[in-house]
């Protein structure tokens, strides 16, 4: 068993490189410049591969909400203007990337009922950028690959029976004990950061709770929370509801100052072409 100590030492030595705004230890093996370039490259590739919406009312609505939020994002997260693109896709998804890139799929506009709920989505996605979650995820993947390689070498030199089963077991341990919990903590962190960000931007934070109630109606069959990269909808609703005591005063301050918004969601958002229609 002593041969496993070097493995633990390597993983521990490479961890706790930084601390998030919530006080959580972070693993960050990449520079901001590397992540920015990766985000820009990925976004450009996505624009080539995924149709971009040409419906002006839809793009204006999304840009109205996104621009209101990005004005309140620290320059430490991104210097300069943010690029916002609406992708013509059925996916119920959105994302933000290092380098100031925001993508919103038209599919998610069927779930977000108004500007406030879209603000919750965009605030959440920008929260990932603010907290350097992309860096953590890439770093965690690198560490897990290194750990598996070192573990396999250590087991290969040992006299342990059923070495292949041990290696397989380590893989499961890393997947459910490292990668997925990191992802769940990222999502919870982005929920909280996003709720505060939308409130500071003049959107009522209560909408984030309703958003996940909407999401829960779409998730009839989900895996157990400990085997998922996302917290359960129930957990998210509870966490966001509890945090309203912190975020609501930010919104009220903006409301009293007259810093609210009128981003009108169009009623005639075109449905993106289905896979069947594309083939035709």
List residues with catalytic annotation. 125
Burial code of 170-186, b = ≥16 C-beta within 10 A, e = fewer?
beeebeeebebebbbbb
Output the CA–CA distances (angstroms, integers) from residue 141 to 33, 177, 274, in the order listed.
19, 13, 33
> How many CB atoms neighbour CB 121 within 10 A?
28
To 5 degrees, how large is the angle CA 86–CA 218–CA 96? 30
> How many CB atoms neighbour CB 189 within 10 A?
20
């Amino acid at each position: 068993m002593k041969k496993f100590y070097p493995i633990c030492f390597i993983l521990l030595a490479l961890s706790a490189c930084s601390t998030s705004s919530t006080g959580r230890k972070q693993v960050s093996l990449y520079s901001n410049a590397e992540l920015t370039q990766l985000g820009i490259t990925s976004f450009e590739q996505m624009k080539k591969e995924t149709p971009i919406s040409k419906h002006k009312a839809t793009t204006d609505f999304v840009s109205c909400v996104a621009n209101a939020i990005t004005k309140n994002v620290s320059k430490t997260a991104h210097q300069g203007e943010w690029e916002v693109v609406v992708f013509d896709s059925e996916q119920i998804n959105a994302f933000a990337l290092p380098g100031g890139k925001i993508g919103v799929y038209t599919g998610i506009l069927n779930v977000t009922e108004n500007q406030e709920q879209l603000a919750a989505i965009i605030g959440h996605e920008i929260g990932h950028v603010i907290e350097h979650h992309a860096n953590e995820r890439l770093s965690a993947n690198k560490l897990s690959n290194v750990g598996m390689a070192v573990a396999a070498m250590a087991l290969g030199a040992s006299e342990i029976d059923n070495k292949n089963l041990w290696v397989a077991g380590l893989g499961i341990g890393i997947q459910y004990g490292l990668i997925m919990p990191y992802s769940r903590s990222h999502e919870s962190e982005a929920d909280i950061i996003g709720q505060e960000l939308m409130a500071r931007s003049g959107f009522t934070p209560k909408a984030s709770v309703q958003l996940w109630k909407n999401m829960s109606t779409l998730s009839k069959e989900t895996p157990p929370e400990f085997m998922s990269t996302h917290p359960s909808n129930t957990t998210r609703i509870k966490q966001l509801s509890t945090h309203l005591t912190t975020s609501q005063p930010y919104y009220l301050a903006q409301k009293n100052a007259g810093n609210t918004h009128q981003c009108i969601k169009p009623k005639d958002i075109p449905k993106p072409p289905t896979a069947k229609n594309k083939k035709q």
